[in-house]
A and B are shown apart, each in its own frame.
Chain A
Amino acid sequence: MPLFLLSFLLLLCGAALPLLLWRRPLAAQRSAVCCAVAASAVGLVPVLRVLFTGVPASFSFPWSVPLASFSLLLDPLSALFAVPLLLLTGLAAVYGAGYLAACAGKKPLALAWAAFNLLTASMLLVFSAANAVLFLLGWELMAAASFLLVLFEHEREQARKAGFIYLAAGGTGALLLLGLFLLLGAGAPSMDFSDFRVPSGGAATAAFLLALGGFGLKAGFIPLHVWLPEAHPAAPSHVSAVMSGIMIKTGLYGIIRVLGLLKPWPEWWGWLLLGLGLVSCLGGALFALAQHELKRVLAYSSIENVGIILLALGLGVVAAACGAHQLASLAFAGALLHVFNHALFKGLLFMGAGAVLHGTGTGELEALGGLSKRMPAAAAFFMAGSAAACALPPLNGFAGEFLVYLGALRALNSPGSVALAGVLAGLALAAAGAVAAAAFTRAAGTAFLGEPRTERAAGAHAPGPLMAVPMFLLALLCLLSGLAAPLLLGPLSAAVSAGFGGYYGFAAGLEAMGPFLYISAAALCLLGLIALAAAKRRAFLGGRQPASGVTWDCGYAAPTARMQYGASSFAQPLTDFFQPLLRKLGQYPVISEYFPAKASFSTEAQAVFYNSVYTPAAVRLRDLAYRFSWLQHGRLQLYIMYIVVTLIGLLLWKL
């Protein structure tokens, strides 16, 4: 635990130092990065110890604030969330050093770095807090710090809009959580989680719904996701990596904690979670397919992955409620494993997108292309990340989903509604996987492959080592944690026991070991096969130098970059099919004459929920407020009339 506190301390130093050095941006940045890296290095030790030994560590310190106490608890579940947090923030800091170096002088770097370290510290606090006040403190600091980072490029209208939506969502969520904790802590001597008494019946349901709302606004599953696709693209890429990789997981962490507290679960909770997960993973994938901006694609894919995790939780809860504990444990384990894996590959992907932004200055897919020639390493890493995000076998994305699949298959053969849950979960995973594959081949293909579509893309420059190395490490981790899945089962089951109860963890570890060993073996075998095939190919070529020419365009000898299949055209068959959901806005040219002049075609994916649910609601509310605004009309006589009328009313009512 001392080491854990030390890493806290380092992070706080990392937040304070840049502000002290604000006159010398680069020095500030250097100090912040050093602190962040040191903090993650130091912090990983105790966290990994807890994770692998399964022995929780705790620390408590009295606090003069009423009902509050400065008490931390680091159990395997917290550790499981803290490991990717520390890994990712450490790497992201290094990456950010390269990413932001260009902004020195133009932007308040010191503030950005202070906020970054504060964000890390607060997330660490959220994962380890054992007292509601402390938790809320961490939660709100997290929101504030990330808000500042979202507004890093506040000159852009889009960023300000994102900032507002993000802040509003965060504030609302925090208030819901306040309600949640007060409900749980009502009658408790203090606000320590250990003192909470488990409510039952209506109170339990209320607590669950409050948690779902409050944490859901951070986790960002549909329909509470509106801030996510706005905020993630707005923030600097290393921050988006952290936000998308870890910060949204704080919401899931909260939901899991509350679930762990509110046992036994009614079945319909599971169905609710399952439904939300289903909508989110399908909707997220579809929206991702329709986006035109690289980071928005990734943001929506985050929604999809949150949906997958939620789906697994829902399956688990339904199963547990129906008494099918083994497959419940598989589903829970799958959820947690996917939390870990998603952090890795989504971090990698956002860094790749950052490399694109850094190299070309734009994330518009239609403006990119051919970058794999100019930044081969980044391209390779990004494609690796995409493969992981599509859950393709040798990589880590597959492992977590496979656990959920196992649960779903087990469910298939069990009686009653569990089977239905299993079918739905598996089906959603399969469908979402296919759509995600389309989305990621589209993104990677349009951005990195083919010919550059614009001058910017043609003049792109490769990211420096500070940016490349973290991406390489993350890609490596994606591969390794994919191959070493069986080794992860031990800590995983410890985490599951910590979160959901001892039995589940034990069962998960037991059930999943066999298939996981096979899969790892098969994955290795696959890698071997690929190597073999490549070697054979070389042998077939036998040293003959392949000729090179222009791309075969069916006889057309002068293809230009603009004739390539673009992002919109790639997605069009699917997006048209799902138009009722996506509500794409499009302008299609009308060709009238025999020799048509220049015609233009454009589609724009809109944020359906934001535009057609939240905005109208907000407008309605403001309209209501305006309707009442005449009350403050400025006439003194009537003001005094209010007083008289109220007084008389009170007298008549109360006397």
Chain B
Amino acid sequence: MEIVKPFCQYLAAMTLAPLLPGIVNRVKAFFAGRRGQPVLQLYFDLYKLLNKTPVYSRTATWVFRAGPVAGVSALVMALLLLPFAGRPSFLSFEGDFIFLIYLLGLARFATVLAALDTGSAFEGMGASREMQFAVFAEPAFFLGLAALVRVSGQTSLAGIFGALTPETWRQAAPVLALLTASFFIVLLAENSRVPADDPNTHLELTMIHEVMVLDHSGPDLAYILYGAALKLWLFAALIACMVLPRHSGSWAADAGLFLLVMAGVAAAVGIVESVMARLRLTKVPYMLITAFAFSALALIFQMGR
């Protein structure tokens, strides 16, 4: 049975991930007073794309084809390390979140190269920006996790989130709050949501992630969209695990609660997208530096205590 649970968790993550963008869109639609697309829209899109014949640019080479494959596999791999409702995951070892960060890096690497392979001005633009924001996001993310390590005294994701209890919150509420905020900003930037990026705009000049994948079509695009959903899930899960320290005895209850919180995070993203305008590109780094500052502050608090 103990083997089955992580498997189920993993399966749940894989299957439920595409829900999150749907939720986000519904929330935005609600704020905009529209009905909006169905929650399952992404599933439909993926199905459709998987059965389409792709079109490749004459410029593109094997790198272009390899990009999405590597990207999605890296994320699927990353999910293996991800705890679910504070429960241990498949793989959990000392410093596994370092591995996770570098898996995300691998995905980014592959996507960016694939984008550059098309030789399009726009995709290069997107790639450049993606890399730029990563430079600011990664230290913030690492520092936040470092603070968590310091808080929990554990060095693996499962360990960290397993050790988070209401007691920890009572002791280190400001630290954890700061970290949550920091992670949320990182989530917005890494998943190219408003205010870092606007996935829905049709002005390529302003887009980041979307413009990188302009040239992808068919199954490749499906991989990319699925990968993006997984990434969103990943960050949301981290936040959820952090704000949900309670571990009741029953696994099912925990899981349900966890899923609710996930939905909540997605909704939060939607709300932010609805109430905020997109930042100017040159301002995005400052937002990420704010996240960095939050993490650093948290860490300093924690080390001070």
A577 to B105, CA, bound (A): 21
Interfacial chain A residues near B215, Cβ < 8 Å: 551-552
Q: A449-B61, A449-B117, A570-B128 are in contact. Are A547 and B55 (CB under 8 A)?
A: yes
Q: Does B119 contact A (CB under 8 A)?
A: yes
A430 to B129, CA, bound (A): 18
Smallest Cβ-Cβ distance to B51: which chain A residue: A540
Q: Are B73 and A549 in contact (CB under 8 A)?
A: no
Q: Does A438 contact B (CB under 8 A)?
A: yes
Q: Are A565 and B127 in contact (CB under 8 A)?
A: yes
Q: Does B219 contact A (CB under 8 A)?
A: yes
Q: Are B155 and A450 in contact (CB under 8 A)?
A: no
Q: Are B121 and A419 in contact (CB under 8 A)?
A: no
Q: Are B155 and A540 in contact (CB under 8 A)?
A: no
Q: Does A632 contact B (CB under 8 A)?
A: no
Q: Which of A344-377 contact B (CB under 8 A)?
A: 369-370, 372-373, 376
Pick from B56, B119, B129, B223: contact of A537, CB below 8 A: B223
Name the residue among B129, B219, B285 with the largest chain A CB count within 10 angstroms: B219
Identify the stretch in B20-28, B91-99, B269-277 within 8 Å (CB) of chain A at 4 or more residues. B91-99
Name the residue among A370, A420, A514, A540 with the largest chain B CB count within 10 angstroms: A540
Pick from B60, B99, B124: contact of A522, CB below 8 A: B99
Q: Are A370 and B59 in contact (CB under 8 A)?
A: yes
Pick from B73, B94, B125: contact of A529, CB below 8 A: B73
Interfacial chain A residues near B29, Cβ < 8 Å: none
Q: A564-B120, A573-B128 are in contact. Are A534 and B69 (CB under 8 A)?
A: yes
Q: A383-B113, A426-B142, A554-B204 are in contact. Are A571 and B128 (CB under 8 A)?
A: yes
Name the residue among A391, A423, A514, A544 with the largest chain B CB count within 10 angstroms: A423
Q: Are A387 and B56 in contact (CB under 8 A)?
A: no
Q: Does A26 contact B (CB under 8 A)?
A: no
Q: Which of B104-151 contact A (CB under 8 A)?
A: 105-106, 108-109, 112-113, 116-125, 127-129, 131-132, 134-135, 137-139, 141-143, 146, 149-150
Q: Are A406 and B134 in contact (CB under 8 A)?
A: no
Q: Are B120 and A559 in contact (CB under 8 A)?
A: yes
Contact with B along A107-142 (1 / 0, CB 8 A): 000000000000000000000000000000000000
Q: Does B153 contact A (CB under 8 A)?
A: yes
Interface size on A, residues (CB 8 A): 79
A412 to B152, CA, bound (A): 11
Smallest Cβ-Cβ distance to A572: which chain B residue: B128
Q: A565-B121, A570-B124, A570-B128 are in contact. Are A546 and B218 (CB under 8 A)?
A: yes
A433 to B141, CA, bound (A): 13
Contact with B along A395-419 (1 / 0, CB 8 A): 0001000100110011011000001
Q: Does B38 contact A (CB under 8 A)?
A: no
Pick from A393, A413, A431: contact of B138, CB below 8 A: A431
Q: Does B198 contact A (CB under 8 A)?
A: no
Q: A393-B103, A430-B101, A570-B127 are in contact. Are A383 and B63 (CB under 8 A)?
A: yes
Identify the stretch in B74-82, B171-179, B228-236 within 8 Å (CB) of chain A at 4 or more residues. B74-82
Q: A548-B56, A549-B58 are in contact. Are A426 and B116 (CB under 8 A)?
A: no
Interfacial chain A residues near B125, Cβ < 8 Å: 565, 569
Q: Does A44 contact B (CB under 8 A)?
A: no
A379 to B125, CA, bound (A): 22
Pick from A441, A526, A553: contact of B109, CB below 8 A: A441
Interfacial chain B residues near A449, Cβ < 8 Å: 61, 63, 113, 116-117, 119
A409 to B159, CA, bound (A): 13
Q: Are A569 and B124 in contact (CB under 8 A)?
A: yes
Interfacial chain B residues near A191, Cβ < 8 Å: none
What's the least CB distance linking A159 to chain B, in Å?
Answer: 31
Interfacial chain B residues near A434, Cβ < 8 Å: 105, 131, 134-135, 137-139
Q: A391-B102, A393-B103 are in contact. Are A532 and B73 (CB under 8 A)?
A: yes
Q: Does A518 contact B (CB under 8 A)?
A: yes
Q: Are A530 and B113 in contact (CB under 8 A)?
A: no
What's the least CB distance linking A191 to chain B, in Å?
Answer: 44
What's the least CB distance linking B211 to chain A, in Å?
Answer: 9
Interfacial chain A residues near B124, Cβ < 8 Å: 445, 450, 564-565, 569-570
Q: Does A336 contact B (CB under 8 A)?
A: no
Interfacial chain B residues near A391, Cβ < 8 Å: 102, 105
Q: Are B127 and A548 in contact (CB under 8 A)?
A: no
Q: Does B267 contact A (CB under 8 A)?
A: no
Q: Does B303 contact A (CB under 8 A)?
A: yes
Interfacial chain B residues near A435, Cβ < 8 Å: 135
Interfacial chain A residues near B16, Cβ < 8 Å: none
Q: Does A444 contact B (CB under 8 A)?
A: yes
- A sample of 13 inter-chain contacts (CB < 8 A) reads A369-B119, A372-B63, A376-B62, A390-B105, A393-B103, A398-B102, A438-B131, A515-B93, A532-B73, A541-B219, A564-B124, A565-B121, A565-B125
In addition to A390-B109, A393-B102, A437-B131, 8 A-B residue pairs with Cβ atoms within 8 Å of each other are A409-B155, A430-B101, A449-B117, A540-B222, A541-B54, A551-B60, A554-B214, A564-B121
Ranked 7 nearest A-B pairs via Cβ: A565-B124, A450-B119, A445-B116, A529-B73, A518-B93, A551-B57, A438-B131
